[in-house]
Chains A and B, each alone.
Chain A
């Protein structure tokens, strides 16, 4: 492998700075003792983090987002595991259609999904329902789970399952003792990526949340369009912190490059 030249390395450094700059400034400003958005030039302070925890709207929407992400990721995995097994292992009429349908939220703009669900919710009287919000989030995170699971199942040596059958295991036992443990990295990786995507989702949620179900990103969007003070930076820094933890976990259980880049 040949080395990168100096020009390439300078370019690379600039790209990395560009990618990190907005995140870095958010984290720095979060520690400002001032009342305005400014860099903490006169020492660090945690007052804005405190403010966040005493701001009932932010606290409530954080819990909303957390429950929403936990539920939608878990339920999406529960639906996606059997569905991806069906798609990878059986030839049945409508298989290609279902596959396309399950992946379609990746190419339908979230904005469009948002207004479409708003219309449906208005018609069935589901506006403001947390349950329907969970279902909506399941729709947008399922494709991420499916992609990982399909890759995991397709790369699976079927003879391992055949070996277990031949030793007298029932189909249920084979699934529980062999198949599931073997696709577990795909399942947990899929769950985590689903969790992150649900937790971060703004564009669709902004249409279908009600005051009582507002999620953290929606709350932040509203807040940022109305007032500007360092509390927004503190919330953002907290989110970055949570994301970093999730990313490290994800990297641990599945390998981040495998999730983001896809595997061959």
Chain B
């Protein structure tokens, strides 16, 4: 049995299913993120683990104990809230000390543990300040210290970094992971930011409309998204609708708007878990990440194209290339060489192994320009 287990938990508000049949096992010391757009049920799931929201059906087990109906104040979990939820009328020290006080830890030990926790988040000199006298990043770290000082079996993080500006958020991601490694606390984090989830999690749980659609290591989710939704939600992607024309051995030929493209016929097997090789006549959606496309000289590669838009992203260039398949996004590293000009004719190339295949038609035709936010 895993350290923290959610078994088929469901939360219903009236007739609305906020969370449906969520099953998840978290190992001791693991850092797991619940990732999904707002309203996907990830926060409700976290609140059920915390005990702030009642579970409609299913059960939650912590270290072999059923805590489904346990009161929030008996679970002993450490929680970092999106708003930090610091006690505004207490100093940093008192904020961190509060949980220990509730556990009736003797005063001398309390002091030592609070100081240790503040040391860990580099806030020792700020112990006497009030939350309103701190910056956003400092408040965030107080919230973290307050949650870990009670040595919780599980640390719950609810969008912990979303109120920080971009630069600080990145720094805090690494710091958060660093602290979690040092303390070794099992951690569940909720986030809508895939970069955040990917950079610090051992495993990522993708949620969509109250259900889990994929649980995997960050790299696997990026490279092998199991649904079209995930491939679109996680990073940028080119989605191309097509029909399987012929299957021969390891290769299949897919017609995309009349343009034949070779793919690995086994690809369908690991996509969407529906198994089996592709069959002739089947409707599929091909999915190619922009950084997997290579822009070559005109007349080379698999498809001809013309640069229609060009965005400078700092470390990379993002191109929109118009061609026979419509507009494709392609990303090339900024290696110091001159970028392609607008209207420049190019060739588009890729290796068959980078093409992911989703069975069935696309949910809707996304405008690549809109996707590339």
Interface residues of B in 137-161 (CB under 8 A from A): 146, 150
Does residue A4 face the partner (Cβ distance < 8 Å to B)? no
Interface residues of A in 158-185 (CB under 8 A from B): 159-160, 162-171, 173, 177-178, 181-182, 184
The dominant DSSP class at the B interface is loop
CB distance from B96 to the nearest CB of A (A): 10
- Report the bound CA distance from A182 to B132 in whole Å: 13
- Report the bound CA distance from A182 to B146 in whole Å: 19
Does residue A157 face the partner (Cβ distance < 8 Å to B)? yes
The residues of A that contact B89 with a CB separation of less than 8 Å are 181-182, 184
| In contact, B88 and A167 (Cβ under 8 angstroms) | no
Does residue B85 face the partner (Cβ distance < 8 Å to A)? yes
Chain A: CB-nearest residue to B75: A166
The residues of B that contact A163 with a CB separation of less than 8 Å are 79, 81, 85-87, 146
The residues of B that contact A181 with a CB separation of less than 8 Å are 89
Partner of A166, one of B78, B83, B86, B88: B78
- Report the bound CA distance from A168 to B146 in whole Å: 13
CB distance from A250 to the nearest CB of B (A): 20
- Report the bound CA distance from A166 to B50 in whole Å: 7
The residues of B that contact A162 with a CB separation of less than 8 Å are 50, 52, 72, 79, 81, 85
The residues of A that contact B86 with a CB separation of less than 8 Å are 160, 163
The residues of B that contact A184 with a CB separation of less than 8 Å are 89
The residues of A that contact B83 with a CB separation of less than 8 Å are 157, 159
- Report the bound CA distance from A168 to B102 in whole Å: 6
| In contact, A173 and B102 (Cβ under 8 angstroms) | yes
Known: A162-B72, A178-B87. A168 touches B81 (CB 8 A): no
Does residue B82 face the partner (Cβ distance < 8 Å to A)? yes
| In contact, B102 and A157 (Cβ under 8 angstroms) | no
Chain B: CB-nearest residue to A174: B73
Interface residues of A in 27-64 (CB under 8 A from B): none
CB distance from B62 to the nearest CB of A (A): 13
Chain A: CB-nearest residue to B80: A163
Does residue B74 face the partner (Cβ distance < 8 Å to A)? yes
The residues of A that contact B325 with a CB separation of less than 8 Å are none
- Report the bound CA distance from A202 to B93 in whole Å: 50
- Report the bound CA distance from A169 to B104 in whole Å: 11
CB distance from B86 to the nearest CB of A (A): 7
Q: Mark B84-120, 1 if CB is under 8 A from A, else 0.
A: 0111110000000011001100000000000000000
Q: A165-B72, A166-B77, A169-B73 are in contact. List 20 more A-B contacts (CB 8 A).
A: A157-B85, A159-B81, A159-B82, A160-B86, A162-B50, A162-B85, A163-B85, A163-B86, A164-B98, A165-B51, A165-B52, A165-B73, A166-B79, A167-B146, A168-B73, A168-B103, A169-B102, A181-B89, A182-B87, A182-B88
Does residue B76 face the partner (Cβ distance < 8 Å to A)? yes
26 contacts between A and B (CB under 8 A): A157-B85, A159-B81, A159-B82, A160-B85, A160-B87, A162-B85, A163-B81, A163-B86, A163-B87, A164-B87, A164-B98, A165-B52, A165-B72, A165-B73, A166-B75, A166-B78, A167-B98, A167-B146, A167-B150, A168-B99, A168-B102, A168-B103, A168-B150, A173-B102, A177-B98, A184-B89
Q: Mark B23-45, 1 if CB is under 8 A from A, else 0.
A: 00000000000000000000000
- Chain A residues with a Cβ under 8 A of chain B: 157, 159-160, 162-171, 173, 177-178, 181-182, 184
| In contact, A167 and B99 (Cβ under 8 angstroms) | yes
CB distance from A255 to the nearest CB of B (A): 16
Interface residues of B in 42-84 (CB under 8 A from A): 50-52, 71-79, 81-83
Chain A: CB-nearest residue to B98: A167
Chain A: CB-nearest residue to B100: A167
9 smallest beta-carbon distances between A and B, as pairs: A167-B99, A168-B102, A159-B85, A163-B85, A159-B81, A160-B85, A181-B89, A165-B73, A165-B72
Chain A: CB-nearest residue to B74: A168
Chain B: CB-nearest residue to A157: B83
The residues of A that contact B103 with a CB separation of less than 8 Å are 168
- Report the bound CA distance from A167 to B151 in whole Å: 11
- Report the bound CA distance from A53 to B79 in whole Å: 61
The residues of A that contact B82 with a CB separation of less than 8 Å are 159
The residues of B that contact A166 with a CB separation of less than 8 Å are 50-51, 72-73, 75, 77-79
The residues of A that contact B76 with a CB separation of less than 8 Å are 168
CB distance from B164 to the nearest CB of A (A): 17
Chain A: CB-nearest residue to B150: A167
The residues of B that contact A168 with a CB separation of less than 8 Å are 73-74, 76, 99, 102-103, 150
Chain B: CB-nearest residue to A164: B98
Interface centre among A160, A166, A171 (most CB of B within 10 A): A166
Interface centre among A162, A163, A171 (most CB of B within 10 A): A163
The residues of A that contact B78 with a CB separation of less than 8 Å are 166
The residues of A that contact B85 with a CB separation of less than 8 Å are 157, 159-160, 162-163
CB distance from A171 to the nearest CB of B (A): 8
Interface centre among B74, B83, B87 (most CB of A within 10 A): B87
The residues of B that contact A177 with a CB separation of less than 8 Å are 98
The residues of B that contact A157 with a CB separation of less than 8 Å are 83, 85
Chain B: CB-nearest residue to A169: B102
